[in-house]
Amino acid sequence: MKKWLILVWLLIPVALVSYHFGPGQAAFAYRQAQTHLANAQKLEQDGHFEEAIDRYGETLAALPESDAPPPDLSVRRDQLRMAQIRARFQLGRLAETLDSLNVLIEEIERDHGTHSPLADDARDLLGRVHYQAMVALRLESAEEAVWKKHWELARQNFRFLAEHTTGRRNSLDRRNLEVVIKSFNLPQIAFAAPAGGATTTAGLAKTKTPPTNAAAGGGPPTKTDARPRPEAPPNKRPPPPDEFDLGS
């Protein structure tokens, strides 16, 4: 009996070491990542976006590495990347934000699905960035052909969401789509300057247009809506188009 007790006693350090270099390391990494995340969110709420970007990066670096991460870990990583991009957007770096966000959306749709909640969140942010780019360009009296590209891309992204989301999310997406559509005919004076006045329009003349077959592949529609419309009776004006037809 004493021999068994001695053997068990001797094996305790081995078990502790095994835990420390196995599951214990992952648990420590998650705790460290959680601390960085809390700091990043607080900095973002307080308007310290540069510091928040760094803290989100530290959170990403703290997460355990894996060649085949579990789905929840993969989602967390992409959520953190999107948080970094959102903070960069708050700094007014529109062109840089668009480049990073377009790459992230491609990877999110590949890894999590075109209609995943994370893809919807990323596309919502993309629509907002294009809309803000349109506003900034109009305030700088840019050529119509330049700001109109961003208006169109904002419309496409919110239209895609309005056609595919459900519930409360869909109501918000429809309102955003309506705001974008109505903004086309608003005078320049109707737009407010971005908060802080730090927005830069450098690089916005170039836009990444979705492929023409995006609608078939699940992405935002880029072609004119060709759905058949009933012919109006003689001597009667056709009904006005709904919000999904405007701007096509």
Q: Give pLDDT, residue 4.
A: 56
d(CA 65, CA 69): 8
Give which of 205, 126, 199 is closest to 161, Cα–Cα. 126
Contact 89, 129 (CB under 8 A): yes
Q: Which residues contact 184 (CB under 8 A, 6 or more apart)?
A: 151, 247
Print burial letters for 140-150: b (CB count within 10 Å at least 16), e (below 16).
eebeeebbebb
Q: Are 137 and 146 a contacting pair, CB within 8 Å?
A: yes
Residue 35's CB is within 10 A of a number of other CB atoms, namely: 14
pLDDT recorded at residue 63: 83
Strands (DSSP E) contained in 53-190 are none
Spatial distance between the Cα atoms of 137 and 193, rounded to a whole number of angstroms: 10
d(CA 52, CA 39): 8
- Name residue, tokens 């075109």: 114
Q: How many CB atoms lie within 10 A of CB 75?
A: 17
Ramachandran angles phi, psi of 200, nearest 5°: -115, 135
Q: 39: Cβ–Cβ under 8 A, 6 or more apart, which residues?
A: 55
Residue by residue, pLDDT tens for the chain (248 residues) are: 555 555 545 555 544 444 444 445 556 567 788 888 888 899 999 999 999 999 999 998 888 776 555 668 889 899 999 999 999 999 999 999 999 999 999 999 999 999 999 999 999 999 999 999 999 999 888 899 999 999 999 999 999 999 999 998 999 999 999 999 999 988 877 777 655 456 777 778 776 655 333 443 444 444 444 333 344 455 545 444 444 444 43
The three-point CA angle 124-129-134 to 5° equals 125
What is the length of the chain? Answer: 248
Q: Are 175 and 69 in contact (CB under 8 A)?
A: no
